[in-house]
Amino acid sequence: MKRPNVGISALIVLGLFAIGGIVWAAQAADEATSEGGTKEQICCKAGDETPPDELVKKVPPGELHSPYQDYKKLAQDDPNLVKQFRLPGCNECHGGTGGGGFCPALTQGVWFWGNTDDVLFRLVTLGSAELEKQGFTRYQYGTVHAPMPPMGFSVKTADHLWKVIAFIRSINPPGTNPPEKVIPGRYTAPEEKK
């Protein structure tokens, strides 16, 4: 009877221990993070005082998420939400209640750049020209071909901008907002475009 090769058997056992150790370490890191461990969560929390310009520099594309996912409830509970919309000057172009002015109505359910939290936050903060420079692609144009100006300077905190976005979502027709119909932003890293 042949004896199994002890060296090969030992390598297999060591390999299994190594794989088990890697899996254990990954699980431990995930548990530590979910229990308030060491991994820092950059975005996004209610009450965040970070200026929008700073937040878009810190957070990679696609990773900005509103802390106000129940925007309909927020609109019902906060009668001053429309004031949040008007404070940075959104009403000057989009109308006092978002129904349109000399720029597109925000009630029409048409999304030129996509409708995810990330795209909307970046569009308002950076404006359309800078959004495009950073690698995002416009889906379509409406009747107004003017660019969206950067408004991050006029919105003092990320929390304020998330409330503006919640208001915009609350006035849109049903079926045009996440999670009903997600229209992701088209993003290509600028270095990949060359």
CA gap 56, 118 in Å, rounded: 9
Cβ neighbours for 43, distance < 8 A, ≥ 6 positions apart: 55, 58, 59, 63, 64, 65, 158
Q: Does residue 117 belong to any structural domain of this protein?
A: yes
Name the domain count of the chain.
Answer: 1
Q: Does residue 29 belong to any structural domain of this protein?
A: no
CA gap 74, 81 in Å, rounded: 8
Which residue range is the domain that position 156 belongs to?
52-189
Q: Does residue 86 belong to any structural domain of this protein?
A: yes
pLDDT in tens, 132-182: 999 998 888 777 777 889 999 888 999 989 988 888 888 876 566 555 667
pLDDT in tens, 89-136: 777 777 777 767 777 877 777 788 888 899 999 999 999 999 999 999
Q: Does residue 15 belong to any structural domain of this protein?
A: no
Q: What CATH number is given to the structural domain containing 133?
A: 1.10.760.10
pLDDT in tens, 15-41: 433 333 333 333 333 333 334 433 345
Q: Does residue 82 belong to any structural domain of this protein?
A: yes
